[in-house]
Amino acid sequence: AVVPGFHAEPSFLEAWQQVLRPEMERSGADHVLFSFHGLPERHVRKSDRSATCRFDDGCCSLLSAANRNCYRAQCFDTARRLAQGLALAPDRWSVSFQSRLGRTPWIRPYTDLVVREMPGRGVRRLLVACTGFAADCLETLEEIGLRARADFIGHGGQELTLAPCLNAHPAWARSAADLVRRTAGPAAPSASPGPSPASP
């Protein structure tokens, strides 16, 4: 069995909100950038059964039957749901795509370019959430936490904070286990509840 896409799974979104709420408060960020892993445009186009993929906001601004399998549209849908859950005003969040390689076009906007443009748009304290990653890795810790932070400050920003990924957050562990159990069906063994995590 394969776990189906879960970009709009309520427990997945709630886990991210539990990670991001304290980071927003701690960082004092005036903007949240939801940065997803990028893909070459040709890969996304191959998955588009509607033959209407335009790689623009008009195409991805609403998830519908025509684009429900489009990775870019799903990323924007996840970001919209998170922004709503975090009570972010429309001008306080945006979406970008990181980790592109080679010369072929990848889905836009590109995170590295967006980060450099943010200070010119009045953003001084930026929080980046790599919501396309379940766990921190070189593409979050180095690409965003080091290089993007240096770029942001070098272009006039005050501070860039990298939010941790879901990693082993208890809410994500419960969500992931539930997704697996639901996919495997009623014969799947239930996880033992175990001790509750200690309060911070």
Which of 34, 42, 60 shows the shortest CA–CA distance to 106?
A: 42
CA angle 75, 126, 56 (to 5 degrees): 30
Q: How many CB atoms lie within 10 A of CB 54?
A: 9
Find out whether 4 and 180 touch, Cβ atoms under 8 Å.
Answer: no
- Over its length of 200 residues, how does the chain's per-residue pLDDT go in tens digits? 899 999 999 999 999 999 999 999 999 999 999 999 999 998 888 776 665 666 666 677 788 887 888 889 999 999 999 999 999 999 999 999 999 999 999 999 999 999 999 999 999 999 999 999 999 999 999 999 999 999 999 999 999 999 999 999 999 999 999 999 999 987 655 555 555 555 44
Maximum CA pair distance of the chain?
Answer: 56
Q: Distance of CA 48 to CAs 24, 53, 71, 73, Å?
A: 35, 7, 9, 11
Helices (H), 65-164: 71-85, 111-117, 138-141, 149-154
Q: Give residue 192's pLDDT.
A: 53
Give CA–CA dist 141/179, Å, rounded. Answer: 27
| CA dist., res. 68 & res. 55, Å (int) | 14
Buried b (16+ CB within 10 A) or exposed e, 126-143: bbbbbbbbeebeeebeeb
